[in-house]
Amino acid sequence: MSKVKTRFPPSPTGHLHLGGARTALFNWLFAKHHGGVFLLRFEDTDRERSKQEYVDSIKEALEWLELFWDEGPYFQTQRLEVYASYARKLFEEGKAYYCECPPELLDKKRKQALAEGRKPKYDGTCREKGLGPGPGRVLRFKCPQVGTTVVEDLIRGPVVFDHQELDDFVLMRPDGVPTYQFAVVIDDLTMGITHVIRGDDHLSNTPKQILLFEALGATPPKYAHVPMILGPDGTRLSKRHGALSILAYRDEGYLPQAMRNYLVRLGWSYGDQEIFTLDEMIEKFDLSRVSKSPARFDPDKLLALNAHYIRQEDTTRLAEMVRPFLEKLGVTPPPTEDPKFLKAVESVKPRARTLKEMAEMMRFYFVPEVEYEEKAARKFLTPEIAPALKELTKRLEALPSFEEDSLEKLFRDLAAEFQLKLKHIAQPVRVALTGRTVSPGLFEIMDILGKETVLKRLRKALEYIEEAQNG
Mean predicted confidence (pLDDT) in 37-41: 98
Query: Do residues 147 and 267 share a domain?
Result: no
Query: Do residues 116 and 194 share a domain?
Result: yes
Nearest to 255 by CA among 327, 354, 336: 354
Query: Do residues 357 and 416 share a domain?
Result: no
Tell me the pLDDT tens digit for each residue of 198-215.
999 999 999 999 999 999
* Element holding 412 (H helix, E strand): helix 404-417
Residue 306 belongs to a domain: no
Taking the C-alpha atoms of residue 287 and residue 181, their distance in angstroms, rounded to an integer, is: 24
> Where does a domain end: 299, 326, 347?
299
Strand 37-42 versus strand 5-8 pairing type:
parallel
Query: Do residues 268 and 352 share a domain?
Result: no
Residue 230 pLDDT? 92
Total domain count for the chain?
4
Model confidence at 121: pLDDT above 70 = yes
Query: Do residues 129 and 147 share a domain?
Result: yes
Residue 309 belongs to a domain: no
Residue 471 pLDDT? 62
Tell me the pLDDT tens digit for each residue of 173-194.
999 999 999 999 999 999 999 9
pTM of the entire predicted model: 0.92
Q: Given pLDDT bands bounded at 50, 70 and 90, which one contains residue 255?
A: very high
Q: Are 229 and 295 in contact (CB under 8 A)?
A: yes
Mean pLDDT, rounded, of the chain: 95
Tell me the pLDDT tens digit for each residue of 260-284.
999 999 999 999 999 999 999 999 9
Query: Do residues 387 and 450 share a domain?
Result: yes
Taking the C-alpha atoms of residue 45 and residue 323, their distance in angstroms, rounded to an integer, is: 40
- Which SS3 state, helix, strand or coil, does residue 3 take? coil
Model confidence at 140: pLDDT above 70 = yes
Residue 307 belongs to a domain: no
CB atoms within 10 A of CB 121: 16
Active centre residues (catalytic): 239
Residue 128 pLDDT? 95
Q: Are 420 and 358 in contact (CB under 8 A)?
A: no
Identify the CATH number of the domain in which residue 268 sits. Answer: 3.40.50.620
Query: Do residues 89 and 211 share a domain?
Result: yes
CA 343 from chain centre, in angstroms, equals 30
Q: Are 154 and 224 in contact (CB under 8 A)?
A: yes
Model confidence at 352: pLDDT above 90 = yes
Query: Do residues 93 and 200 share a domain?
Result: yes
Residue 179 belongs to a domain: yes
Identify the CATH number of the domain in which residue 413 sits. Answer: 1.10.10.350
Residue 86 pLDDT? 98
- Which SS3 state, helix, strand or coil, does residue 335 take? coil
Q: Which amino acid type is present at position 421?
A: K
Domain that holds residue 256: 5-77+229-299
Q: Given pLDDT bands bounded at 50, 70 and 90, which one contains residue 258?
A: very high
Q: Given pLDDT bands bounded at 50, 70 and 90, which one contains residue 119?
A: confident
Model confidence at 1: pLDDT above 80 = no
Nearest to 10 by CA among 226, 28, 23, 68: 23
Identify the CATH number of the domain in which residue 339 sits. Answer: 1.10.8
Query: Do residues 183 and 289 share a domain?
Result: no
Query: Do residues 323 and 440 share a domain?
Result: no
Query: Do residues 268 and 159 share a domain?
Result: no
> Where does a domain end: 366, 383, 398?
366
Query: Do residues 129 and 254 share a domain?
Result: no
Q: Are 169 and 179 in contact (CB under 8 A)?
A: yes
Tell me the pLDDT tens digit for each residue of 61-99.
999 999 999 999 999 999 999 999 999 999 999 999 999
Q: Are 322 and 351 in contact (CB under 8 A)?
A: no
